[in-house]
Amino acid sequence: MYDTILVPTDGSDVAVVAADAAVTLAQRFGADVRGLYVRDGDGADDGDRATAAVAERAAAADVEATTAVVDAEGPVHRRILADADEHGADCIVMGTHGRTGLDRFVLGSVAERTLRESSVPVLTVHEDTVVDRNLDAILVPTDGSDCSEAAAAHAVDLALATDAALHVVHVVDAGVLPMDGSGAVFDELQRAGQRALDSVVERAERAGVSTIRASVLSGTPYRAITDYADAEDVALVVMGTHGRTGFDRYLLGSVTERVVRLTDRPVLTVDDADGR
């Protein structure tokens, strides 16, 4: 599933959580870990300490690891993505905030910019996130867009690799319903949601996923998704980086961004590379 997992680090507490998550995934899939510190100015000693912490965690888990301290030479996230490309990383694991003093995922952060532009899946964690090595339940929301279909395909592969139960949900956005509460509009949105669900379920069944649960929910999409993840105690949420918004990139205010911001569960974001 994964061969090389890149974990950018700045030595912050949430970067340590990301390192632990990367090592857990590496154990599960037999992958190597690469710890990366991007120096934006002075800070060679900080970089050595931060990457040494990644290497120590990998060694304790008997996971192969390499580390590097590199100069940014431009935007930090671009250097991270270049390193991922240069070293064949097929997953990036990052904390959703670093040494900014902020307690949430923010527009302009390195993590957010990496999510926008990465062609490989990016796993994000908070300081309280724990990645379960068993990955026994995976949630993938879908809206039928190409990007959510790409996320679904990745979720199916993960479910097969880990023998996880696959939870598939579509949320009918209550915010787009007419003020008069027209049942006809709601019914049509439910039918569209069911079609999106059926597409993912059929894919999963063809692939041989053993346990599949599909649900049409209603409400505010990001809240319905996070509530479902908590209620079902899923180990991982897999989402596309954008959906049916007509935009060609990850957006502030998108459902995915809000889920990443609010949930303490690990979120794996997947881009539809063909749709770039």
Tell me the torsion sign for CA atoms 24, 27, 28, 29: positive
Q: Is the dihedral of CA 70, 270, 18, 116 positive or negative?
A: positive
State the Cα–Cα distance between residues 112 and 171, nearest whole angstrom: 24
Domains located in the chain, CATH noted: 4-125 (3.40.50.620), 137-275 (3.40.50.620)
Instruction: Label residue 84 exposed, middle or buried (CB < 10 Å: 0-12, 13-18, 19+).
Output: buried
Give per-residue pLDDT as tens, 60-112.
Answer: 999 999 999 999 999 999 999 999 999 999 999 999 864 444 444 444 488 88
Question: Is residue 8 over pLDDT 70?
Answer: yes
Distance, CA of 250 to CA of 117 (rounded, Å):
8
Convert the pLDDT of each residue in 192-218 to its tens digit: 889 999 999 999 999 999 999 999 998
Amino acid (one-letter) located at 231: A
Provide the pLDDT confidence category of residue 184 given band limits of 50, 70 and 90. Answer: confident
Two tokens, residue 96: 């959703």
For residue 269, pLDDT over 70 is answered with yes
pLDDT tens sequence across 110-158: 888 898 899 999 999 999 999 999 999 999 999 988 889 999 999 999 9
Model confidence at 230, pLDDT cuts 50, 70, 90, reads: very high
